[in-house]
Amino acid sequence: MEPELTNESTSQSAQRPTDATPDRRTVSVTVNGTRCEAAVDVRKTLADFLREDAGSTGVHVGCEHGVCGACSVLMDGEVIRSCILFAVQADGHEIVTVEGLGSEQELSPLQQAFVDHHALQCGFCTPGMLLAAVDLLKHCPDPTEAQVREALSGNLCMCTGYAGIIRAVRAAAPLMSGPVDSHAGARGTSPPASGDDRAPAKG
């Protein structure tokens, strides 16, 4: 699905910006099932919006140029990089961050596999890795090792050398099914979506 830039004429917020202040818009984004509305600068990145306005500090910013993948989130079920999208581009869309996958008390099968296989060290890449893996397993429920490596090659991990991550994703694959439901963690009940509708923002 193509994220749409909000039309300027329809989203003018009550306050008309002066020349000296950047343009602001009110955006409404569903984050992990909860609607989050805020007036934001149009240039504010989606990553900053999610961290600052939606309180999802599990969205990590590692490079700000779309390479490292730490800021990956799901938008309408597809993995995207929130550092190279603007918040206004997510207006009206549904976002799932790592906080939407599971909690410490109730880990999703994928998160549990990350713990079981020590698939992380410092934890900074982990949220992005998890969401990239959710996206992979939705499109490819039983991936080979090579497919996992390829799918995660847009996410940098500086600590683990990837071995534990690959093992964890493969171990979790049989336990996952369907697309992510942002209310119910990483497992949904609807059938897997077709594999050809990935968001173009995936780097």
Partner 1 sequence: MEASSTQWKGRAVPLREDLRFSTGRGTYIDDMKFPDTLHVALLRSVHAHARILKVDLSEALEMPGVVCGLTGEDASRMSEPLRSLIPIPVALDAYCLAYGKVTHVGEPVAAILAESRYLAEDALEKIRVEYEPLPAAVDPEAAMEPDASLLFESMGTNVMWQDRFDYGDVDEAFGRAARVLKKRFYIQRYSSTALETFGCTAVYDDHREQLTIWSNDQRPGQAMPIVAHSLGLTHSQIRFVTPDVGGGFGNKRKAHYLIIAALLSKLSGGRPVHYLEDRRENLMALIHACNGVMDLEAALDEEGRILGMKVRDIADEGANVLNPTVHSILKLGNLTNCYRIPVVRYEVNSVMTNKCPSGANRGIGKPFMCLAMERMMDYLARELGMDAIDLRRRNLVLPDAMPYTGPSGALIDSGDFNGTLDKLLPLIDYEDFLREQREARAQGRYLGIGIAIGLEPSTSNASAYILSSGRRSASGAAEAAMVRVEHDGSILVLLGDVGSGQGHETAAAQIVADELGVAMDGVRVSPFFDSAVTPWLYATGNYSNKFAGTDVGAILGAARKVRDKLLELAAHLLEEPVENLELADGGVHARDRHEHRKTLGELAFVAYRDLLSLPPDMEPGLEGRFYYKPDIANVPDENRRVRNQLFASNAAHGVIVEVDPDTGGVTILKYGVVHDCGTVLNPSIVEGLVQGATAHGIGAALFEEFDYDAEGNLKSTTFVDYLKPTAVEIPDVAMDHLVTPSPYTPLGMKGVGEGGAIPAPAAICNAVENALEPLGCTFDHLPLTPERVWEQMEKARASK
Binding footprint of partner 1 on the chain (CB under 8 A): 20-22, 41, 43-44, 51, 56-65, 67-68, 70, 97-99, 101-104, 107, 111, 114-116, 118-127, 130, 148-150, 152-166
When the beta carbons of 55 and 178 are compared against partner 1, the nearer one is 55
DSSP of 36-100:
EEEEEETT-BHHHIIIIIS--TTS--S-SSSSS-TTEEEETTEEEETTSSBGGGGTT-EEE-GGG
When the beta carbons of 21 and 194 are compared against partner 1, the nearer one is 21
Residue positions counted in the chain? 203
Give the Cβ contact number of residue 5 at 10 Å: 11
Q: Tell the smallest beta-carbon distance from residue 191 to partner 1 (Å).
A: 27
When the beta carbons of 25 and 44 are compared against partner 1, the nearer one is 44
When the beta carbons of 161 and 200 are compared against partner 1, the nearer one is 161
Residue type, 91: D
When the beta carbons of 13 and 190 are compared against partner 1, the nearer one is 13
Q: How far apart are CA 85 and CA 3, in angstroms?
A: 9
Q: How far apart are CA 198 and CA 172, in angstroms?
A: 22
Paired strand residues for 79: 74
Give the position of tokens 């934001």: 40
Q: Tell the smallest beta-carbon distance from residue 54 to partner 1 (Å).
A: 12
Q: Tell the smallest beta-carbon distance from residue 7 to partner 1 (Å).
A: 23
Q: Tell the smallest beta-carbon distance from residue 185 to partner 1 (Å).
A: 11
Q: Tell the smallest beta-carbon distance from residue 1 to partner 1 (Å).
A: 24
When the beta carbons of 165 and 176 are compared against partner 1, the nearer one is 165
Q: Tell the smallest beta-carbon distance from residue 194 to partner 1 (Å).
A: 25
Give the position of tokens 């071995």: 163
Largest CA distance in the chain: 55
